[in-house]
Amino acid sequence: MSSNLATKLREGTKKAHTMAENVGFVRCFLRGVVEKNSYRKLVANFYFVYSAMEEELERHKDHPVVSKVYFPELHRKHTLEQDLAYYYGSGWRDQVTPSVAGKQYVDRIHEIANTQPELLVGHSYTRYLGDLSGGQILKGIAQRAMNLLEGEGTAFYEFDTISDEKAFKATYRQSLDEIDLDEAQADAIVTEANDAFGLNMKLFQELEGNLIKAIGQMLFNSLTSRRRRGSTELATAD
């Protein structure tokens, strides 16, 4: 029996998806404005979020609903550890902690895992399908914006064990449709997916202040440099 959950999730999260894409931090990122300190804080938060989600997916991998979206090849914890080592150095574990929004996200994942494990499907869908869909584009933006060499700080976007991402997404959606759910359960998963988008938006919104400050400082430095060059040219002309 098909639950049509894949379609329900796609249609039911369209608005939240659009809202998330229009958060200032994301809009700046998509336009190539990426500040390394803000970005590494995002990576740190993702580390705690994915660690929590993957821990709970592992714990509930035999659950009749969760088992349908248990794909270890999607797991991002290890790749995030690689990126954190790049951005913070070998002692990164002593330097990173979840932000307020990051902790709320992590707490929510553990909460539903203990009370309604099937809702983990909403988080898996929101995170992993997004990663597969836009990963390579975002990787390229990050590399150009932060002058990263291939293999530096972008492991998060690499799915080395998935050769065909489009085909894998089709398999994932098919698995969603194979879950035996009643209407109320399907609606609850869609609601949780929307809440996951909201939690993700809070992560981005936290970083907007840091990004604005960084952009302001860059503009200030640029203007100061121009003024100095102008003063030098005038002095030379005199």
Domains and CATH numbers, the chain: 5-210 (1.20.910.10)
pLDDT along the chain (238 residues), means of 10: 87 95 90 91 98 98 98 98 98 97 98 98 96 87 93 94 95 96 96 97 87 50 55 55
Mapping DSSP to helix (H, G, I), strand (E, B) and coil, where does residue 29 land?
helix
Q: What is the pTM of this model?
A: 0.88
What pLDDT, on the 0 to 100 scale, is given for residue 218?
47
Residue that the structure tokens 């996951």 belong to: 196
What pLDDT, on the 0 to 100 scale, is given for residue 230?
55
CA distance 160 to 9: 26
Ramachandran region, residue 180 (left: φ > 0; alpha: ψ -120 to 50; beta: rest): beta
CA distance 112 to 121: 11
